[in-house]
């Protein structure tokens, strides 16, 4: 009896250790070499896609010279008091072809460009044709958002005002994963600038996630946390016909057992 108790205790200990290993994020990250931890995780410059709302500010030492390129919310032009980027300008909706309608210049195809590429592109359209001194162009994606779905506490679409968010920060915004969520196989769906999609898998248990190209999310990224095996088993519903068949079989076995007992 004592041996059985010890065996049961040992089995429970192993199960507990296994569950902890499945739940913990970035396991054994402290064991990574210092030179590895010092490596930089590159933050990808987001590419402009259809549906983006862009705030575009043109700045200069001579604000009057670029005022015609800065729309206000009312649609009129206004002088820029300084060259510091602000989001007070009206936004430009990127249409399905990747085009925006920019003041004076007209239609500009910025779809698929990174933000820096689009800034240089717009600058080349302004200088030197319209101004004598090279201006600054600053673009912000005003509707930068990501979606977190599945086995999280607060599935939702989240706006990211600073255009910078890691997968761990996204998980935190969603209230963390449920215990029934798989941490080792999160699905990432990414919409690229040319309209195509990219699919990847993320393992939150892996410490090398810190250096993954998917550690930082991009606008319109979707994270889906799948249920683990226990949740999937709990969600399984026995079909009515199978339930009826099992009930009939159980009844027949009971009758047969009674008949065997009576004939002995």
pLDDT tens string, the chain, 264 residues long: the values are 545 444 444 444 444 444 445 678 978 878 778 777 777 766 777 789 999 999 999 999 999 999 999 976 544 444 444 444 444 567 999 999 999 999 999 999 999 999 999 999 999 999 999 999 999 999 999 999 999 999 999 999 999 998 899 999 999 999 999 999 999 999 999 988 777 899 999 999 999 999 999 999 999 999 999 998 766 556 555 566 666 666 666 666 666 666 666 566
What strands, in cross-sheet order, belong to the sheet with 136-141? 91-93, 53-59, 136-141
Quote the CA–CA distance of 166 and 85 in Å, as a whole number.
Answer: 24
pTM as predicted: 0.70
The count of residues in the chain is 264
**CB neighbourhood size of 197 (10 A):** 9
């Amino acid at each position: 009896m004592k041996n059985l108790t010890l065996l049961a205790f040992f089995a429970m200990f192993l199960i507990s250790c296994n569950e902890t290993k499945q739940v913990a994020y970035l396991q054994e990250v402290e064991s990574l070499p210092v030179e590895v931890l010092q490596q930089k995780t590159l933050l990808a410059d987001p590419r402009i896609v259809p549906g983006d709302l862009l705030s575009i500010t043109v700045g200069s030492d001579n604000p009057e010279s670029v005022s015609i390129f800065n729309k206000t919310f009312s649609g009129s032009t206004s002088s820029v008091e300084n060259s510091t980027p602000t989001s007070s300008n009206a936004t430009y909706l990127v249409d399905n072809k990747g085009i925006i309608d920019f003041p004076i210049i007209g239609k500009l195809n910025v779809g698929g460009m990174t933000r820096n590429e689009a800034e240089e592109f717009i600058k080349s359209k302004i200088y030197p044709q319209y101004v004598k001194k090279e201006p600054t162009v600053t673009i912000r994606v005003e509707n930068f958002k990501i979606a977190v779905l599945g086995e999280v506490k607060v599935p939702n679409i989240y706006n990211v005002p600073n255009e910078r968010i890691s997968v761990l920060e996204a998980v935190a915004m969603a209230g963390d994963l449920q215990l029934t969520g798989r941490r080792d196989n999160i699905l990432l769906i990414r919409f690229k600038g040319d309209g195509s999609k990219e699919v990847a898998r993320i393992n939150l248990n892996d410490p090398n996630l810190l250096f993954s190209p998917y550690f930082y999310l991009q606008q319109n990224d979707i994270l889906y946390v799948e249920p683990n095996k226990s949740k999937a088993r709990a969600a399984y519903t026995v079909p009515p016909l199978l339930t009826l068949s099992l009930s009939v079989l159980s009844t027949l076995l009971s009758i047969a057992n009674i008949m065997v007992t009576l004939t002995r």
